[in-house]
């Protein structure tokens, strides 16, 4: 008996994509777009990578689920791109390098402290001489020349105190770099005090009566080193005016070494007293000259090291940037 219901026409088999419905078709369309080669402005200059080339020619197998295939392909795409990305470990290299700034800061602090300690002996002797002049101590053959003309010795002692203490701080590299204005202002005061020390010392050598035990050799040494100190300060001031920092440091270091000779002379005279007893005018002059020579030798050694140290600093800075 014929059925009154309408018979549905049979769908042709073989097209699995039509059976999946509209959702599957949408997934297949997205998959087709993703798997197409991606072109950029640089794609003409550089050929596609082997991973993207192989991905472009592959197609979905017959009756395969496009959604699952899409997920798999996107995972492969991400992995391929992650593998192509350059992995550089140089970004963390500067952080791993240890700076030597704290060590240099500590060494500069020790240098300033050592210079102040070396100048403590002549500063104490100068303070004692000033107390004698102010308090009106008894006049003896050893101090009669100072009471007769006290102004040169007072200028010499006061300017020497400022020159020794303030000049020591000029060797602190951190202070020079961090407080440049203070370094310049203090440097001008150091120049003035240094000139007063040298000129007053020359005046006392030329016009004060010679102390007992002062021979011709010591007289000549005082004139030579006093003049050398004044010339060094003038040259140091002139070179910084031309912008020559290295020569400025060299001449100021020489001048400070001569000015601080009184501290080293206290030690050399002690050694000479132990070797030669009783001390003579010659041994005393040699001990005084040895103090100046030792200071100048140390200063010249430090000056010779400045260009090499500057080159090492530049090399470390260049290595830090690369």
Q: What is the tens place of the pLDDT at every residue in 139-166?
A: 888 889 999 999 999 999 999 999 999 9
Contact 292, 225 (CB under 8 A): yes
Per residue in 37-94, pLDDT tens?
Answer: 444 444 444 444 444 444 444 444 444 454 554 445 544 444 444 444 444 444 444 4
User: Is residue 54 in some structural domain?
Assistant: no
User: Is residue 30 in some structural domain?
Assistant: no
User: Is residue 201 in some structural domain?
Assistant: yes
pLDDT of residue 315: 56
* Host domain of residue 305: 103-321
pLDDT of residue 102: 56
In the block, residue with structure tokens 């994509």: 17
pLDDT of residue 190: 95
User: Is residue 1 in some structural domain?
Assistant: no
pLDDT of residue 162: 95
Number of domains forming the structure of the chain: 1
pLDDT of residue 313: 56
Cis peptide before 278 (omega within 30 of 0): yes
User: Is residue 84 in some structural domain?
Assistant: no
pLDDT of residue 174: 74
269-288 residues labelled b (16+ CB within 10 A) or e (exposed): beebeeeeeeeeeebbbbbb
Q: What is the dihedral of CA 102, 191, 222, 266, to 10 degrees?
A: -30
User: Is residue 86 in some structural domain?
Assistant: no
Residue ranges in the chain modelled with pLDDT below 70: 1-108, 308-322
237-259 residues labelled b (16+ CB within 10 A) or e (exposed): bebbeeeeeebbbbbbbbbbbbb
User: Is residue 228 in some structural domain?
Assistant: yes
pLDDT of residue 77: 43
User: Is residue 286 in some structural domain?
Assistant: yes
- Could you tell me the pTM of the whole model? 0.64
């Amino acid at each position: 008996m014929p059925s009154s219901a309408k018979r549905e026409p049979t769908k042709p088999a073989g097209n699995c994509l039509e059976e999946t419905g509209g959702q599957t078709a949408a997934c297949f369309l997205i998959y087709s777009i993703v798997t197409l080669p991606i072109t950029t402005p640089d794609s003409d200059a550089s050929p596609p990578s082997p991973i993207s080339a192989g991905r472009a020619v592959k197609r979905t197998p017959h009756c395969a689920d496009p959604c699952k295939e899409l997920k798999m392909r996107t995972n492969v795409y991400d992995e391929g791109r992650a593998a192509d990305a350059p992995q550089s470990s140089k970004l963390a290299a500067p952080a791993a390098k240890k700076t030597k700034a704290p060590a240099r800061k500590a060494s500069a602090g020790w240098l300033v402290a050592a210079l102040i300690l070396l100048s403590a002996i002549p500063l104490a002797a100068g303070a004692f001489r000033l107390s004698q002049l102010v308090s009106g101590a008894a006049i003896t053959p050893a101090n009669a020349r100072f009471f007769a003309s006290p102004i040169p010795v007072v200028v010499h002692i006061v300017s020497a105190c400022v020159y020794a203490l303030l000049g020591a701080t000029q060797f602190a590299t951190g202070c020079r770099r961090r407080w440049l204005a203070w370094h310049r202002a203090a440097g001008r005061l150091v120049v003035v005090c240094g000139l007063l020390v040298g000129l007053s010392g020359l005046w006392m050598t030329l016009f004060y009566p010679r102390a007992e035990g002062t021979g011709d050799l010591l007289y000549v040494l005082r004139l030579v080193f006093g003049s050398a100190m004044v010339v060094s300060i003038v040259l140091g001031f002139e070179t910084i005016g031309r912008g020559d920092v290295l020569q400025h440091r060299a001449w100021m270091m020489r001048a400070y070494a001569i000015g601080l000779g009184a501290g080293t002379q206290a030690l050399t005279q002690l050694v000479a007293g132990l070797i030669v007893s009783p001390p003579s005018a010659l041994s005393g002059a040699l001990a005084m000259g040895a103090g100046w020579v030792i200071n100048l030798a140390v200063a010249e050694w430090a000056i010779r090291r400045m260009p090499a140290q500057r080159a090492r600093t530049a090399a470390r800075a260049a290595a830090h940037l690369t």
